[in-house]
Structure 1
Amino acid sequence: MKDNNQLDCVLCSDTGYVNVVVAVPLTTLFTYRVPRSLRGQLTRGKRVLVPFGRKQIIGICWDVMTTLPASVPQKQQIKDILTVLDEQPLVDAAYLQWLEFAADYYATPLGQVLSQAIPSLYLDVQKIGKEHSYKYKPINFSHDFSTKDVVLTNEQNLVYQSLAGHLDEYYPVLLRGVTGSGKTEVYIRVIKTVLQQNKSALFLVPEIGLTPQMLARLNHHFAGSLLVYHSSLTQNQRLSQWQSCLDERPQVLVGTRSALFAPFKNLGVIIVDEEHDHSYKQEERFRYQARNLAVSRARILKIPVIMGSATPSLETYYQVINNKYHLYELHARSGGASLPDIRVIHFGKEREQRKTPLCLSQHIHDAIEHFHKKKKQMLIYVGQRGFAQSAYCASCATIQICPNCSVGLKYHKEGRVLKCHYCDFAKPYDGVCAACHVKGLTLLGFGTQSVADEIGAMHPRVVLTRLDSDAVSNERELRRIFNDFAKHKIDLIVGTQMISKGHDFDNIGFVGILGIDAHLGLPDFRASERSFQNLVQVAGRAGRSDQKGHVLVQSLMPEHPSVQWGIRQDYQKFAQHELALRQALGYPPFSRLVQFRFLSAQEQRLKNFLCEWKTFLDGVTCRTNQLDLQILGPAEMPVAKVRGKYRHHVILKIRRGLKVGDLVAYLRDDLDRRKLRGIQYQIDVDAVGMV
């Protein structure tokens, strides 16, 4: 990696060779000769057209050199670059350094990282010269939400004033504020100051946090300078926003994790809202954690990065404890509102006493009736979508399993189908067991559909709607629901995590929480953290006005620490308890986890290979201090089959501070040498999804 003195683009008329990165999943750079006709035109970050095998492809000029690198064999035939495609570098040298860091940290081929960072249009040979000749529908920022300027509280202003004094340096910040404390208002003030300095701002939000209400607030302050980037946009709309970031005028880009790769050349601040959210982790192809890459980009650019949350990830909080990040806190809700009153219901005992077949506790039904009479709006959070979580056959004591995945099928009342939430397999529900062919399946568990049906039947005067990925398939429908809720046309929303973040409605008097402890039965060391975060975040939607909100948590494990600390909204006590457990077991943040996943449609072939590879892994373990490295597995993954492929994994538990890249590269090179047939492997550094 180049030092800071080499970051400026190099322009050299004597340049004879260049290293080029192409968008293929290979770990090597490719060296080309620069013909005399092109010398003087090359700088780092420009696109070039090069021969690659029997075809021509587009790559990015990575290094410029006057002599052939020593790593290139003297007898190797060096091909010429065909042409230079850009007058100015598409991305600058600091951006390239950041991509190089990302590839090294996440043990991912640089070409694969490039594919994530650069829109495919810029790497398509067929589209050369057509980068700006496409059509797209303008992005609509219109909304029906009322917006107004807000005067900062003394607490907010103190935080803002301190942050404003560090805008010219790398300054990583955790802004921990209780739900409703006005973190967004602090962000907005910081962004305004950055724009006044003729710099741009990048504002990252989780997918479910990018709501019409959030966009309305930002557009109120930054109309004309606001850009947006998320998965609901068309490909051409996303391309238009990416290209706008090439403009050096001050702008604000708000978007989900992929917006992190926007090619700003005058970036002044990065904000990561709800930094704990698991949607910042990409689980396919280039598997990166956007929060961590935001920190590394800020460090390279020497700018502040602000990570905000009411329930910070333990990894981030651990950096504060170790004085790596600066902690700022907002203890009070803005506008004089108080935190909601939260109570927990032991639903197991209630069901046993009342012998009730209902999904909801009678206490929640009573609360719905009470708050509806007071003309207060309500949210009911349900941890899973669908109508029932399994279809059980008493005759052969089995549940109905997906033929492509080793998971149970969920019953969806709409369409009367059994559906797999992993591969979307679906079949009509006829009540007949697929294993023993006896009719008489019993539906077990609940989801958003059954909860909404029960509330509708017991409270017919309550106007309710459902908010989950089955009920809402596009942004227009989502916008309509939130607009109607803001206008009090809807009394109650039943939803999944889609209702948990980014919403600020001042008339919500009651929140009911169901299934918050569903994660606790999973073989996942982060299960307690997720349950605590979900509880506090969902509960925080209540009582954002001068009247106190009320929350009921329906739980089968009410004594669990994540539930107990959650209802007390005591993050510090929960973090202290959970960090002690993690340290005792050697889990992150006290170590780093690297997961090697192996997938194959042929189960026996996969098992035979892993039995052989285990011998190799045992040799690696013998040569390593066991305090530095533990290798767990190979073992079958908890969900052992998905989309017709069997799944096993090996987990490396590596002491924090030990260099991970060399070890991962050593194992990856060994796998590549074996030329596996019928077996696919994936590497996930700082793995999150272990199931």
Structure 2
Amino acid sequence: MAITSTDKYVKVAIPVPMRQLFTYKLPAKLNVNAIKLGERVIVPFGSRQVVAIVLAVDDDTEYAAEKIKSILSRVKDNFSFSAELLNFLQRCADYYHHPIGDVFQQALPVLLRQIKQPDVELPQIWLTKESLTDEEHTATQKRAPKQGELLTLLKQHQGMTWSELLTLGFNKAQLNALEKKQLIYSESRPVEVFSWQDSALQQDNRLELSAEQAIIVATIKEMQKQFSCHLVDGITGSGKTEVYLQAMEEVLAANKQVLVLVPEIGLTPQTLARFEQRFNVPICLHHSGLNDKERLQTWLEAQRGSAAIVIGTRSAIFTPLHDLGLIIVDEEHDGSFKQQDSFRYNARDIAILRARQLNIPIVLGSATPSFETLQNALTGRYHYHQLKKRAGNASTAKISLIDVAQQQMEHGLSGTLKQAIKNTLERGEQALVFLNRRGYAPAINCQECHWIADCQRCNKPYTLHQGQGLLICHHCGSQKRIPPQCPSCGSVRIKSLGQGTEQLEERIGELFSDFSTVRIDRDSTRKKGELAKLLQQVSDKEHQLLIGTQMLAKGHHFPDVTLVAVLDVDGALFSYDFRAAEHMAQLLVQVSGRAGRASKPGKVMVQSNFPDHPLLQDLVNNGYQHFAKQALIERQQAMLPPFSFQALFRADANYPSYPEKFLRALTEHSFDGCQFAGPVPAAMEKKAGKFRYHLILQAKSRKQLHQAVFQLIHHSANNEWQSKVRWSVDIDPVDLSW
């Protein structure tokens, strides 16, 4: 029975791993009548104080009033969640069965999660001086080419922020040098709602659409004021970005905002560059390469309505846009859109949810759509658009398979491939060598006693990083120095096993010493702005040989790359994960798409020990579309997603029996239309000292799945092993190896 009093009570979300709201008393001194839903307040929680989000205000409570603590203070700023964003985040928490306080925590910028509030400054923009002469511009270009490039950019786009310049590959030294020469200056960008001007569209860079592209743009524009989900399934280089740009024009002209999601920070510089060339409007960025203050600035500008376009990676979906009119998800198939720890959301899926809630269109673009998206398009749930031809005179690169068993190998390269690379370089063209394994070598061992340097916390070999002089575990991050001799037998005959991109760069540099080689992976692009800098060098043809991981595989436009070599795809052909073949095909097609994107024809050479494997043969001879449709038939026969729905329960503990017993207890419950698989050890059973087990719950319908998950979470509270394990639930898992 509720206890009524003159006090008011609020229910708040607190960032703790508990699936509930917490009730607090509202003291009269805090102006209780003015408190708003979505507002941030400071509350006592145990022995500490935390920032909480107000989700409900009540006149009474079911608890004894004298036992309820009071709110300490309200956060005195204007940064609260709108009703639309509150509803969206609550629905996300419900769908993913995740603690609601943590969901709101993830949606807030880091600086707004803290009790001490940040000093919020107006965004600084950089401009060229009004009296800048052609002579000064030319002189700068001659003396300092990079400063000249920066000056040209600022001259074309008056009013660029530091985060934009950083993303495009410039640094503070270049900016400071131009300021010291009094060629540029900075000023605060005024806080005003974005308003479209006729001069905002730069017509010179607008391309003429093909018939296929024009139909897609017209369809999206026709449905501008209602929810519609559009899949743009276009082969690599077919002009999907131009479709996005022209679809955005009418949205921006109506003074509405556009949110563009890209899977990785690596795609942000080129996306920003294309958008800057087309639109002279405020563009804000949100990605991990920016610091907390810069990301807060994007959040605030989006909320105030001064940002016209927001470009970001997956967490940008939570940006509080003032008047959102269109969402674009580029490379929608990419696994990077799925958060793999804590709040395990899929940014693509909740972007569709947000578009539906706001009644606006959303565009999903990919050359290799995920099977879930493709099935929705084939059954008519999404509008299905195809782009079957490359833009301009570019032709699709031909894929050929090399049987490495029939070749003499040197440094992981077959004789056929070495000759092809040599011919390409001698024609003055560029070659890309793809190996999805960073580091120097995946292991080291002793030639005498066969000892292998294993990470004791993961039972997996350390990866050798020769340049850093370290052995690094890519699973838990632990590091150690390279031992001078074997700790087991004392031998100094320690040798690396296998090959990573670092070693490949060294070996290829020796084989083709007359040409410049560049490596692009997570190790070589750690420094701020380094990725954009290296990509620009590739575009300027400073390097002829490109070596890299999947960072190079998608989205990048290298007009002079005519040969792509793929060194290792065999692992995915025999994987336990039913999605492995799908991911392999997507990666292979995406990296193949880097070849022959301009007028020069391109080719792709794939080395394999199993060139006759039916999956490879189908992909090479019939293309991704045929491969995907055949795989969907197999999925349907096996009743696997997207023809069923899954939730993955993960549990880990210091002892292997604990997580297994915890998950085993969950299988004692039965649900209509649902079945369990497991519990089984995870593909990598031990990680960071913890033993890990998986339990998959599969259901015929989404409703049955969520009802069962809800019941299992409830039952877990009474599970005798619950206090001995750390566990989580992952709705719609995409990678069973985590």
**Residues 452, 29 of structure 1: CA spacing in aligned structure 2 closer, same or farther, 3 A cutoff?**
same
2:41 paired residue number? 48
The one-letter code sitting in structure 1 at the alignment partner of 2:271 is M
Aligned to 1:683: 729
The answer for the alignment partner of 2:391 in structure 1 is 334
Please state if 1:624 is matched with 2:641.
no
Q: Deviations over 1:24-82 (max 9, x none)?
A: 222111233445552431232222334444554332221234x436xx24677444445
Q: Does 1:490 align with 2:571?
A: no
Q: Aligned pair in 2 of structure 1 residues 563, 572: CA closer, same or farther (>3 Å)?
A: same
Structure 1 residues 638 and 197, CA, compared in 2 at 3 Å: closer, same or farther?
A: same
Q: 1:54 to 1:396 in 2, by over 3 A?
A: closer
> Equivalent residue of 1:658, what SS?
helix
Secondary structure (helix, strand or coil) at the match of 1:194 reads helix
Q: CA deviation at 1:15?
A: 9.8
Any gaps of 5 or more consecutive residues in structure 1? 1-13
CA–CA separation in structure 2 for the residues paired with 1:437 and 1:597 = 41
Give the Å deviation of 1:216.
Answer: 1.1
Offset at residue 161 of structure 1 (A): 0.9
Q: How does 1:346-385 map to 2 (within 5 A)?
A: 346-350=403-407, 354=408, 356-385=409-438
Matched, 1:59 2:49: no
1:649 CA drift (Å): 1.9
Aligned equivalents of 2:88, 2:34: Cα separation in 1: 24
The answer as to whether partners of 1:345 and 1:558 remain within 8 angstroms in 2 is yes
C-alpha spacing 1:416/1:87, structure 2 compared with 1 (3 Å): closer
Note if contact 1:104-1:661 (Cα within 8 Å) is conserved in structure 2. no
Q: Distance in 2 between matches of 1:380 and 1:369?
A: 13
For the residues of structure 1 that align with 2:662 and 2:597, how far apart are their CA atoms? 59
Q: Distance in 2 between matches of 1:663 and 1:238?
A: 38
1:680 counterpart letter in structure 2: R
Equivalences for residues 64-103 of structure 1 within 5 A:
64-65=57-58, 67-68=59-60, 72-73=62-63, 77-85=67-75, 90-103=80-93
- Residue type of the alignment partner of 1:461: D
Aligned residue type for 1:138: W
By relative contact order (CA 8 Å, sep 6+), the higher-ranking structure is: 1
Structure 1 segment 196-595 matched on structure 2, within 5 A: 196-249=253-306, 251-350=308-407, 354=408, 356-392=409-445, 399-430=452-483, 432-434=485-487, 440-568=493-621, 570-595=623-648
- Within a 5 Å distance, the mapping from 1:610-689 to structure 2 comes to 610-611=660-661, 613-614=663-664, 616-620=665-669, 623-625=670-672, 628-673=673-718, 674=720, 676-689=722-735
1:10 corresponding residue in structure 2: none
C-alpha distance in structure 2 between counterparts of 1:338 and 1:73, whole Å: 70
d(CA) in 2 for partners of 1:161, 1:31: 51
Query: Which residue matches 2:20?
Result: 28
Q: Comparing 455-464 with 214-223, which one deviates more in the overlay?
A: 214-223
Bigger Cα displacement from structure 2, 313-322 vs 21-30: 21-30
TM-aligned CA distance change 1:637 to 1:379, over 3 Å: same
Q: Deviations over 1:317-366 (max 9, x none)?
A: 1111232211111111111211011111111232xxx3x44311111111
C-alpha separation between the residues in 2 aligned to 1:681 and 1:558? 41
* TM-score, scaled to structure 2: 0.84
Q: Do 1:206 and 1:279's aligned partners in 2 also have CA atoms closer than 8 Å?
A: yes
CA shift for structure 1 position 99: 0.5
What amino acid is the match of 1:175? V
SS at match of 1:125: coil
Distance 1:553 1:208 in 2: 27
State whether structure 2 residue 110 is matched by structure 1 residue 120: yes
Whole-angstrom distance in 1 between the partners of 2:736 and 2:619? 24
Whole-Å separation in 2 of the counterparts to 1:54 and 1:466: 50
User: Do the aligned partners of 1:200 and 1:249 also contact (CA within 8 Å) in 2?
Assistant: no
1:588 and 1:98 mapped to 2: Cα distance? 25
Check 1:201–1:425 CA distance in 2 against 1; reply closer, same or farther (3 A cut). Answer: same
Letter in 2 for 1:284: D
1:19 aligns with 2:68: no
| Distance change (3 Å), C-alpha of 1:436 and 1:647 | farther
Q: Give the secondary-structure state (helix, strand or coil) at the position aligned to 2:717.
A: helix
Shift of 1:121: 2.6
Size of the aligned set, in residue pairs, is 661
Work out the CA distance in 2 between the residues paired with 1:87 and 1:241. 17
Is 1:138 the equivalent of 2:162? yes
Rate the CA distance shift 1:417–1:250 in 2: closer, same or farther, 3 A.
closer
Give the aligned partner of residue 132 of structure 2.
Answer: none
- SS of the aligned residue for 2:11 comes to strand
Partner of 1:7: none
In 1, Cα distance between equivalents of 2:726 and 2:339: 18
Aligned 8 A contact 1:194 1:268 in 2:
yes
Query: Could you tell which deviates more after superposition, 456-465 or 390-399?
Result: 390-399
> Could you tell me which amino acid in structure 2 is paired with residue 624 of structure 1?
F
Contact kept, 8 Å, 1:383 with 1:518, in 2: the verdict is no
SS in 1 for 2:695: strand
Letter in 1 for 2:342: R
Aligned-residue sequence identity (percent) comes to 34
Looking at structure 1, the residues matched to 523 and 112 of structure 2 have their Cα atoms a distance apart, in angstroms, of 35
Residue 211 of structure 1 and its aligned partner are, at CA, apart by 4.1
| CA distance in structure 1 between the partners assigned to 2:387 and 2:627 by the alignment | 18
Classify 1:652/1:438 alpha carbon distance in 2 versus 1 (closer, same or farther; 3 Å). Answer: farther
2:671 alignment partner AA: T
CA distance in 1 between counterparts of 2:280 and 2:233 reads 28
C-alpha spacing 1:133/1:56, structure 2 compared with 1 (3 Å): farther
Q: CA 1:608/1:374 → structure 2, altered by over 3 Å: closer, same or farther?
A: closer
1:523 aligned partner, one-letter code? Y
Aligned-residue CA RMSD (Å):
2.7
- Which of 341-350 and 94-103 deviates more? 341-350
Query: Which secondary structure state, in structure 2, belongs to the residue aligned with residue 335 of structure 1?
Result: coil
Distance 1:444-1:609 versus aligned 2 partners, 3 A rule = closer
Q: Deviations over 1:362-386 (max 9, x none)?
A: 1111111111111111111112112
1:583 deviates by 2.3
Is the counterpart of residue 105 in structure 1 residue 162 in structure 2? no
Q: Deviations over 1:122-151 (max 9, x none)?
A: 232232xx4525999931437589994322
Q: Unpaired runs of 5+ in structure 2? A: 1-5, 125-160, 171-201
Aligned CA distance change for structure 1 residues 92 and 608 (closer, same or farther; 3 Å) = closer
Native 8 Å contact 1:340 1:551 kept in 2? yes
Change (3 A) 1:644 1:297: same
Is the 1:195–1:250 contact (alpha carbons within 8 Å) kept by the matching residues of 2?
no
Contact between 1:210 and 1:255, CA under 8 Å: does it hold in 2?
Answer: no
Give, as a single letter, the amino acid of the residue that structure 1 aligns with 2:104. L
Q: CA–CA distance in 1 between the matches of 2:637 and 2:93?
A: 31
Structure 1 pair 635–199 and aligned structure 2 pair: CA distance change class (3 A): same
